[in-house]
Structure 1
Amino acid sequence: MSSSELLDRSGQQAPEPPRGLWHHRDFRRLWAGQTVSLLGSRVTELALPVTAIMLLDAGPAQLGLLNSAQYLPVLCVTLFAGVLADRVRRRPLLIAANLGRASILTAVPLLAWLGGLGVWALCAVAFATGVLTALFDVAYQAYVPSLVAKEQLVEGNSKLQASRSVAETAGQGLGGTLIQALTAPVAILVDCAGYLFSAVMLLRIRTPETPPVRPDGARSSIRKEIAAGLRMTLHSRLLRVIMLHASWYNLLWDIVLVVFPLYGIRELHLGPAGLGVIIAVGSLGAFGGALSAGPLGARLGVGRTMVLGMVVASAATLLLPLAPGSGSGTGHLLLGAGYVLNGFGIAVFNIHSITLRQATVPAELIGRVSATFRFLTWAVIPLGGLLGGLLAAAVGPRAALAVTAGGLTAGALVFLCSRTAVRS
């Protein structure tokens, strides 16, 4: 499927002529709000553990608990969020989620000021904001197709991915500066302001959103609606192939996330700053991928471009275990190239994977299908972290990275041979 073939299934006229999304006033509002809120979120990702370490003297076990509290909502509420996103209009959900997250996060500086902040309170805040983030992310992907024309989905998803890449690169640096200047709890207020700004931008959108239509005119139970999303995802050969390979990538990439810091610090002697720089350049690669996804899709087709992205992202990890241990420039070059190419490829894959779901799934099911996809592809991530620790302990960080890179590349080659994905 080429990007020009992503036609509006309903036959309705697009909200604005497809002149490019720079001219789409409501998309610009959505994009601006999301960009600012993503920057704020990166601040909080750093500020929560720093608050736990510096103010509460938290140990490794408590930090692990805090990290789990942030990701547990993905497994607990994502499928229910998909049902809700298909039952009601999505823009009010997005606004409510932003306002809710802003309100909840104010508890951290408030409790710190009152002297009542503890690790369990931080975990509760992390879990509650995680619930609303899970709801926001599902409703967000389902909302975009109602705002822009189908032939603009690649461009829209590329711009949104570019914002995410910039936020991941700049947000950590911004977070460190704000934490140094304001203290970690107060820095979290910047995230609150970002969510409020995003809510205001969503409120200013004027494109009407069609209320959800039930094909049978009735509302079934939550269990049956979740099952419908699962069936749609698993019975579609295209969606099933994409989901399986995304899950395989997430499983093995989480091993890389666990093992690479050990490898970089203990074997390559990069130091924390050098390690951070190497990881950060991956976001620069992702930004380049976001800019290139549209032109590549127009030239090669959405399916071929998506597969190409996965192959590049996976094969790039083969460079990581090749770095010499002397801290040489060659080693830094190999590591940087690996992360840049990985970021580039996975951004291209994600943009076209999301576009295919948005363009091929019926509007009344897109929330549940997005939720199912997210649930099944993220459920493997905790297992990847566990496997990474065991593998590094058994064979060492460098060998663990080599085995993982081989598994990623093999999976990508299987994906390349999948006619279903290539011809989509």
Structure 2
Amino acid sequence: MTAPAEAADGTVAVPSRGFRRFWCGQTFSQFGARVGTLAMPVVAVDTLHAGSTQVGILGAASTVSFLLIGLPAGTWVDRWPKRRTMMVAALLRSLVVLAIPCLWFAGRLAIWHLYVVAALVGLATVFFDVAYQSYVPFLVRERDVGRANARLEATAQLAATGGPALSGLLLRVVSVPVLLLADALSYVVSFCCLALVEDSEVRPPRTAGRRRSLVTEIGEGLRFVRDQPVIRRLVLAMGFSNLFMGMVVTLMPILVLRTLGLDAFVLGVVMTGGSIGGVLGAGVVPLLRRRLSEGTVIAGGLLTAALFVAVNPVAGLLPQHRALATALLTTAEFGMTAAALAYNVTQVSLRQRLCPRRLLGRMNASIRFVVWGSIPVSALLAGWLSSLLGVVPALWIGGVGSVLTALPALGIGRLIAVSSAK
């Protein structure tokens, strides 16, 4: 077999089949994440009869790792082979998720088991996601990064389109812990696909003498995010928006299953509407980019997503009109995900272009520390506010707050123009 050619920048040109295999593995990984996103809160609410506070703790457990180890994870990912990091994370997620059906079959499943599993899956997800977002520039040419990200997002959404609805349908036949077997299997397939990728990343050489301390390398990534004006504005907008959007996401199972009195199949239908919107949002990015500037797509996408999030509490006012409430929730999820995917594909590609390759892991980890680190706080806040005020008032706070905090993104177009001119 002919060795991959080395590019002018010192990286190795990757054969297209390497990207295809990576693409396939990421699709299955996203499918597993979607199944888990539906199944875990349903296990808590329907099987273990969890309350709002417990659902909030479960949501926090799944994302708290971004706060606890998000920053050092970026430094480690920059030091380690990224493909191998993703493989280990996929295998860990598979083994951990298997614990839930095993405990359920043994009749020993308790809510604290869900907390532990969610935390461990979240831990593996930190490393997988940071490595994933840092790996794409090593697989394709710089000019193809945007298209590659769009394909990854579109295919992941397409794989998840039927997942939530099918999961909800299966829950009428099998118990929800059994559904998590499919979740674990999807991570195994992801591991196998990644194992077949020709690893052409050039591992950073060890510097002479002692390696710089972890704190020093973390600080380098944080300073880059702080000093790069475009990325700094993105972090502020995303961090505060996620704080409020996360409240709505956390309370969605309780809204559907308890406030509206619907079943898990309807919850799956609502989430499927979001998946279809995601396919559309990722698919239209090339068209939007031909007609609009990056700044317009980013600002418009984030604000539009926030406006659709604010529709969700309206459905909570219609418990006697279940069909209308379901239609509103599905429309809101469709519009929110479509806009968010268009925004996300564009801003991720922009970040990858603005950041030196040696800092990609630390840059992504620093951003996720802030952006995803707000989610466990959001989940706990959602549980507390819904217990204090009720589910629908808490949803209104989340919806209105997400709109207000998306506003800082509106001025990003000018910053992009200035940064691109340098």
Normalising by the smaller structure, the TM-score range is 0.7 to 0.9
Q: What 5-or-longer segments of structure 2 have no aligned partner?
A: 1-6
1:212 maps onto 2:211 in alignment: no
Q: Would the aligned equivalents of 2:164 and 2:272 in 1 still touch at CA under 8 Å?
A: no
Pick the aligned partner of 1:158 from 143, 150, 157.
150
Q: 2:288 aligns to what?
A: 296
Q: Say if 2:153 and 2:279, in contact at 8 Å, map to a contact too.
A: yes
**Secondary structure, aligned partner of 1:417:** helix
Given the superposition, is the C-alpha separation of residues 352 and 410 from structure 1 closer, same or farther in structure 2, using an over 3 Å criterion? same
Paired with 1:398 and 1:51, the residues of 2 have a C-alpha distance of 22
The reply to whether residue 148 of structure 1 matches residue 151 of structure 2 is no
- Given that 2:295 and 2:413 are in contact with CA atoms closer than 8 Å, whether structure 1 keeps it comes out as no
Instruction: Note the 1:8-23 alignment, pairs <5 A.
Output: 10=9, 14-16=13-15
Aligned partners of 2:250 and 2:368: how far apart in 1? Answer: 21
Q: Which string of whole-angstrom CA distances, capped at 9 and with x for unpartnered residues, describes residues 131-176 of structure 1? A: 1121111111111111111111111111222233235443223334
SS state at 1:158 partner: helix
**Counterpart in 2 of 1:357?**
351
| Contact kept? 1:42, 1:175, Cα under 8 Å | no
2:366 to 367, 372, 384: 372
1:349-376 per-position Cα deviation (integer Å, ceiling 9, x unaligned) = 1111111121111111111111111110
The 1:73–1:353 alpha-carbon spacing in structure 2 relative to 1, beyond 3 Å, is same
Aligned to 1:190: 182
Distance 1:51 1:396 in 2: 22
Scaled by the length of structure 1, the TM-score of the pair is: 0.82
Separation in 2 of the partners of 1:286 and 1:44?
A: 18
Query: Is 1:248 aligned to 2:240, yes or no?
Result: yes
The answer to which of 122-131 and 204-213 deviates more is 122-131
Q: Please give the secondary structure, in 1, of the residue aligned with 2:201.
A: coil
Output one character per residue of 1:31-54: Cα deviation in whole Å (capped at 9) or x when no partner: 111212322333334444555667
**What displacement does 1:83 show?**
1.2
Distance 1:300 1:14, change over 3 A: farther
- CA distance in structure 1 between the partners assigned to 2:388 and 2:113 by the alignment: 37
Aligned equivalents of 1:263, 1:50: Cα separation in 2: 12
Name the amino acid aligned to 2:333: Y
Give SS of 1:271's match: coil
Distance in 2, matches of 1:380 and 1:35, equals: 26
Q: How far 1:25 sits from its partner (Å)?
A: 1.6
**How far did residue 379 of structure 1 move?**
2.0
State how far apart, in whole Å, the 2-side matches of 1:43 and 1:380 are.
Answer: 23
Structure 1 residues 125, 260: closer, same or farther in 2, change over 3 A? closer
CA shift digits 1:94-144 (9 cap, x unpaired) = 112222222333344444555665544443333223211211111111111
Deviation at 1:191, TM superposition (A): 2.5
Q: Is the 8 A contact 2:35 2:180 kept in 1?
A: yes
Contact 1:36 1:194 in 2 (8 A): yes
Q: Residue 98 and residue 394 in structure 1: after superposition, are their counterparts in 2 closer, same or farther (change >3 A)? A: closer
Check 1:320–1:397 CA distance in 2 against 1; reply closer, same or farther (3 A cut).
Answer: same
* Residues 93 and 418 (structure 1), Cα distance of their counterparts in 2 relative to 1, 3 Å cut: closer
Partner of 2:406: 412
Q: How many residues align?
A: 408
* Separation of aligned partners in 2, 1:187 and 1:263: 22
1:227-306 superposed matches below 5 A:
227-258=219-250, 269=260, 271-272=262-263, 277-306=269-298
Which residue of structure 1 aligns with residue 341 of structure 2? 347
Go from structure 1 to structure 2 and tell me whether the alpha carbon gap of 1:216 and 1:406 turns closer, same or farther (over 3 Å shift): farther
Contact 2:21–2:194 (CA<8 Å) still a contact in 1? Answer: yes
Residues 317-349 of structure 1, C-alpha deviations (whole Å, 9 max, x = no match): 455566684639877665544332221111111
Partner residue of 1:307?
A: 299
Identity of aligned residues (%): 33
Q: Distance in 1 between matches of 2:65 and 2:171?
A: 26
How far residue 278 of structure 1 moved from its aligned partner, in angstroms, is: 4.0
Deviations along 1:286-336, one digit per CA (max 9) or x if unpaired, are: 211010112212332333322221132223345556668463987766554
- Say if 2:92 is the partner of 1:100: yes
**Deviations for 1:241-296, whole angstroms, at most 9, x for unmatched residues?**
000000121012123335666777888x5734656544542222121101011221
The answer on whether the counterparts of 2:75 and 2:218 sit within 8 Å (CA) in structure 1 is: yes
- Equivalent residue of 1:341, what SS? helix
Q: Does 1:135 align with 2:134?
A: no
Question: Are 2:57 and 2:380, in contact at CA under 8 Å, matched by a contact in 1?
Answer: no
Q: Structure 1 residues 117 and 228, CA, compared in 2 at 3 Å: closer, same or farther?
A: same
Change (3 A) 1:384 1:132: closer
Task: Tell me what 1:381 maps to.
Answer: 375
> Residue 92 of structure 2 aligns to which amino acid in structure 1?
G
Task: Map residues 158-177 of structure 1 onto 2, 5 A cutoff.
Answer: 158-177=150-169
Cα offset, 1:212, TM superposition: 1.9
Q: Give yes or no for contact 1:320–1:338 (8 Å, CA) kept in 2.
A: yes
Whether the aligned pair in 2 keeps the contact of 1:304 and 1:422 (CA below 8 Å) is no
Question: How far off is 1:74 after superposition?
Answer: 2.3
The match for 2:195 among 203, 225, 241 is 203
Give me the whole-angstrom Cα distance separating, in 2, the residues matched to 1:31 and 1:405: 33
Q: d(CA) in 2 for partners of 1:265 and 1:47?
A: 13
Where do 5+ consecutive residues of structure 1 fail to align?
1-7, 17-23
Is the contact between residue 12 and residue 201 of structure 2 (CA under 8 Å) also seen in structure 1? no
Structure 2 distance, partners of 1:335, 1:95, is 36
Give yes or no for contact 1:321–1:401 (8 Å, CA) kept in 2: yes
Supply the AA of the counterpart residue of 1:127: A
